[in-house]
Structure 1
């Protein structure tokens, strides 16, 4: 995906400075080492757009709601950018053309969001989506799974579980890809993520992949799905440069099922 190089308020200005001066957790979003998505293969995907330019990905969860990463739509902390500056493109694998562009009516950032923890937000659309073969909602985890994950976070996604991500990020050579890219990952257990990256939080899912692959700028907020096509995570950030030896990090959706349902009905 091309980098639009726009600033989303003071919060993302600070974030941009951190990218320049830090080699630690750097929330970006491109899928390195991915391959083209076929039309309609990931119909729950949305290109989240700020002032008409793609900034992040999102996951359709209903006719009127999309989930994305909180840092994508944050002005300062849990204060979002003005909804009038946001829109989504759905129903196409081309970030520049096709499908439909729908304006955003409101933005709700998870109240505990901060320092890229609880990195999840709900976008309410100004118009209802009409579902077809290219636009559809992804299934959320059940409340039972949320309760199980609270008791044992690795019960939901045992170490090595295959998961899949598709988003619009730059290619490995740094060029902009107009086509959505997909990649395969395996989950890391909480203890292994703590060991490898010092990030064994219950509210996240760590994603293992080969060095030189992974998420970077533009893919944040993309759906992490399992073999049953259930939404398990939203890509959040990577440590250091894209494709580093460290795992990528996603927000664990089951951790927020009650909050999502309470704010999308």
Structure 2
């Protein structure tokens, strides 16, 4: 595997370059190959809000906790923003209306978080959620299967997974309605080959060019055919829909940390 410092600088360089360059032309309307989600189809998906504005997504994992991307709620490194500035909209596919806004009581960022690695955070809500057909917890995975040289443990290459979020649409506008899209996992070896980013703690998501996650999609749940939470979206290289795979944080890698900090 390549030196992590080299691949990290390469990845961050591509990310910054993507922010500076104009977006590539792409079809109008949908979120880079996605489609509208139906109410109740992803009842674990929430809009994470900072100072009342949508900044990303999160996954309900219990009545009191949301799992999301650390960089959305980080002030500096593992020091979070003031929890009083955060809230989550639950029970709605419209990020601007419906459902309810629940305030955040506390924020815990994964202790090893830095430069988009270990990009996870737990949000403790100030009141427990009431589950319904529109609000529900996603299933957490069991302990990760041991990896071998030719197989990526619990997520072999080509595993179908599904993501739903409120990121930018392909025309650059903000999505008010939850968008969903299908992906396939990419093995660590192939992700290392294509993007220099093959880590045991991450999951790379394969898709066609001009598809994929975009600004506002970070923290979105990545679920499999059994609706098990496999990962949480983290970032994309370069402009949205570039030739590089998108990157998510592997949930099974952090099960012990999640369980130790969500005892209810």
TM-score range, shorter chain: 0.7 to 0.9
Q: Indicate yes or no: 2:17 matched with 1:22.
A: yes
Q: Indicate yes or no: 2:112 matched with 1:112.
A: yes
Q: Indicate yes or no: 2:87 matched with 1:87.
A: yes
User: Is the contact made by 1:168 and 1:180 (CA closer than 8 Å) also made in structure 2?
Assistant: yes
- Which residue number in structure 1 is paired with residue 40 of structure 2? 40
User: Is the contact made by 2:36 and 2:177 (CA closer than 8 Å) also made in structure 1?
Assistant: yes
SS of 2:232 mapped into structure 1: strand
- Which residue number in structure 1 is paired with residue 165 of structure 2? 167
Distance change (3 Å), C-alpha of 1:21 and 1:118? closer
Q: Offset of 1:200 from its aligned partner?
A: 0.4
Q: Mapping of 1:106-255 within 5 angstroms? A: 106-143=106-143, 146=144, 148-149=145-146, 154-255=152-253
TM-superposition CA deviations, 1:129-160 (whole Å, max 9, x none):
000000000000113xx2x2466771211111
In 2, Cα distance between the equivalents of 1:215 and 1:100?
25
User: Is the contact made by 2:15 and 2:236 (CA closer than 8 Å) also made in structure 1?
Assistant: no
In 2, Cα distance between the equivalents of 1:20 and 1:156?
28
In 2, Cα distance between the equivalents of 1:242 and 1:193?
17
Distance change (3 Å), C-alpha of 1:150 and 1:264? farther
- Which residue number in structure 2 is paired with residue 60 of structure 1? 60
- Which residue number in structure 1 is paired with residue 6 of structure 2? none
- Which residue number in structure 1 is paired with residue 101 of structure 2? 101
SS of 1:156 mapped into structure 2: coil
Distance change (3 Å), C-alpha of 1:92 and 1:149? farther
- Which residue number in structure 2 is paired with residue 261 of structure 1? 259
User: Is the contact made by 1:149 and 1:255 (CA closer than 8 Å) also made in structure 2?
Assistant: no
In 2, Cα distance between the equivalents of 1:54 and 1:32?
19
SS of 1:154 mapped into structure 2: coil
After superposing on structure 2, the runs of 4+ consecutive aligned residues of structure 1 that deviate more than 2 Å are: 17-24, 149-153
User: Is the contact made by 1:165 and 1:182 (CA closer than 8 Å) also made in structure 2?
Assistant: yes
Q: Offset of 1:23 from its aligned partner?
A: 3.6
Q: Offset of 1:22 from its aligned partner?
A: 2.8
User: Is the contact made by 2:15 and 2:237 (CA closer than 8 Å) also made in structure 1?
Assistant: no
TM-score (norm 1): 0.87
In 1, Cα distance between the equivalents of 2:117 and 2:35?
29
TM-superposition CA deviations, 1:166-206 (whole Å, max 9, x none):
00011101122210000000000110000000000000000
